[in-house]
Amino acid sequence: MKKFLIPAFALMAQPALAASKNPFSADFYSLSNSDLIVTLAFLLFVGVLVYFKVPGKIGEMLDGRADSISKELNEAKAIREEAQALLASYERKQQEVQEQSARIVATAKEEAEKAAAQAKLDIAESVQRRLTAAQEQIANAEASAVREVRDSAINVAVSAARDVVAKQMTAASANKLIDDAIATVDAKLH
């Protein structure tokens, strides 16, 4: 490649030579010819660049820069793929959370419906128990009223019978009743 650089640079100097005098004439090679001095300086400059391997270093720098750009592109691709994977993961998680929340809502609705149905049954049972208890209290109150009426009737009858017996009973009949009662008790006890 170096073999082609010097002629290439020499050809690039051709416009300067074309504008000057004939390069094959004798006064072209004098130091007073500015075109010659510029051409020699240019060739010397190119030679120094080639001697210090500047084109190779520039090529290495360009290759290094190309490699770093390639690495950065690869890193960017890897980061992009990682970001896409992370985005897909978050989208899956979001979908799972939405499905889970839908299941939770459905379960909550079912449980609320079951609780409402159970509450209706509990209320119906409570009403039935209270109704039964009220009916029992009414029956007890009726029985108690009947007993009180019966007891009052018995008391009135006993009182009336006592009055009637007291008016009709004499001392002899009272003694006879007492003796009969003692005999009955004595017979039942022995």
Place of tokens 């809502």: 105
28-68, pLDDT tens digit by residue? 677 778 888 898 999 999 999 999 999 999 999 999 999 99
Cα–Cα distance for residue pair 139/131, rounded to 1 Å: 12
Percent of the chain with pLDDT over 70: 84
pLDDT at res. 13: 52
Quick check: pTM over 0.75?
no
Query: What is the share, in percent, of the chain residues with pLDDT greater than 90?
Result: 49
Round the average pLDDT of the chain to a whole number and report it.
Answer: 84
Q: What is the pLDDT of residues 78-100, one digit of tens each?
A: 999 999 999 999 999 999 999 99
Looking at residue 6, its pLDDT comes to: 57
pLDDT in the model for residue 111: 95
Contacts of 140 (CB under 8 A, 6+ apart): none
